[in-house]
Every structure is written in structure tokens, then in C-alpha cells.
């Protein structure tokens, strides 16, 4: 099953794209809640290039790597990637109110769909706050 989430970021497209693809920025926004953080991030922004983010609970109780391979990169427009046996795409759509960021991903079967949607949406909301705070 595919899940789609989105938010509008009130910032120029180049700033939105840069924050999404810069390891230093990713470490600042990539968390679903305040008790989590991203401690490491790497990005090889090209088709066939790898990316990885280390997400950890701030209390040190749990952590995991989110990693994958870019399958399509269209600067300021689209990223498609695989992670494990799943796939996702992120669309960056310029509009009059800012940039609509739409993320569509293959859900996994271990957790309820709504829980996955909420987690990914929380990260996307943090992303928008991060970008807008940098302006």
C-alpha cells in the first residue's frame, strides 16, 4: 500500500531542495518528535547514489539507520529512491504559496498504516519548520 503525505513550505524552491538534500540540514530536521534526533547523515545525490541517516532516541534507548539508493534525481523537482524492498518519491511543486512537498512511500507491514502516516508527516512538518526558520 502506498501512503502520501504533504506540506507547503513558504520558501524558495532552491532553499527547500537544499535543506532536503544537505546532510547538515537533515540532521537538524529529521525527527518525528523532540525526543529523537538524527546523529549522522550522508547524501550522494545522483541516480545510483546512496543516502543514510542515523536516527536515535535522545535517551540512547534505541536507534536505527534509514538508508537507500536514489533511483531518480531531478534537481528542484523530484527524488525517487528505494530503501530495502520498498520505494518512495518526493515531489517538489512550486506554487504561489510556496513549495508543496509531497512524499509517497510504500508502507511496511509491521506497524499500522496510520502510525506510519503520522510519523512521516511529523518529520515532514519538522522539515517545513526548519526551512522557514532559516529564512
Q: What are the residue ranges spanned by the domains of the chain?
A: 2-34+74-134
Q: Is the pLDDT of residue 78 over 90?
A: yes
> Per the confidence metrics, is the pTM higher than 0.85?
yes
CATH architecture of the region 2-34+74-134: 2-Layer Sandwich (3.30)
Tell me the longest C-alpha to C-alpha distance in the chain: 43
Between vectors from CA 85 to CA 79 and to CA 125, what angle results, nearest 5°? 45
| Per-residue pLDDT tens over the stretch 98-119 | 999 999 999 999 999 999 999 9
Residue 135 predicted with pLDDT over 90: no
What's the whole-number mean pLDDT along residues 118-134?
97
- DSSP letters of the chain? -EEEEEEEE-S-HHHHHHHHH-HHHHHHH--SSTTEEEEEEEE--STT-EEEEEEEETTSS-EEEEEEEEEEEETTTEEEEEETTEEEEEEEEEETTEEEEEEEEEPPSSS-HHHHHHHHHHHHHHHHHHHHHH-
Give the confidence band of 42 by pLDDT, cuts at 50, 70, 90.
very high
Q: What is the rounded average pLDDT of the residues 34-55?
A: 98
Amino acid at each position: 500500500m502506498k501512503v502520501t503525505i504533504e506540506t507547503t513550505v513558504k520558501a524558495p524552491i532552491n532553499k527547500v531542495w537544499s535543506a532536503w538534500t544537505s546532510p547538515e540540514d537533515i540532521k537538524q530536521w529529521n525527527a518525528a518528535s523532540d525526543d529523537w534526533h538524527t546523529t549522522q547523515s550522508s547524501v550522494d545525490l545522483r541516480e545510483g547514489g546512496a543516502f543514510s541517516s542515523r536516527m536515535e532516541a535522545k535517551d540512547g534507548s534505541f536507534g536505527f539507520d534509514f538508508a537507500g539508493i536514489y533511483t531518480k534525481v531531478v534537481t528542484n523537482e523530484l527524488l525517487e529512491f528505494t530503501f530495502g524492498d520498498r520505494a518512495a518519491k518526493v515531489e517538489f511543486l512550486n506554487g504561489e504559496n510556496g513549495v508543496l512537498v509531497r512524499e509517497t512511500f510504500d508502507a511496511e507491514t509491521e506497524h499500522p498504516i496510520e502510525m506510519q502516516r503520522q510519523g512521516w508527516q511529523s518529520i515532514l512538518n519538522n522539515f517545513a519548520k526548519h526551512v522557514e526558520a532559516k529564512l
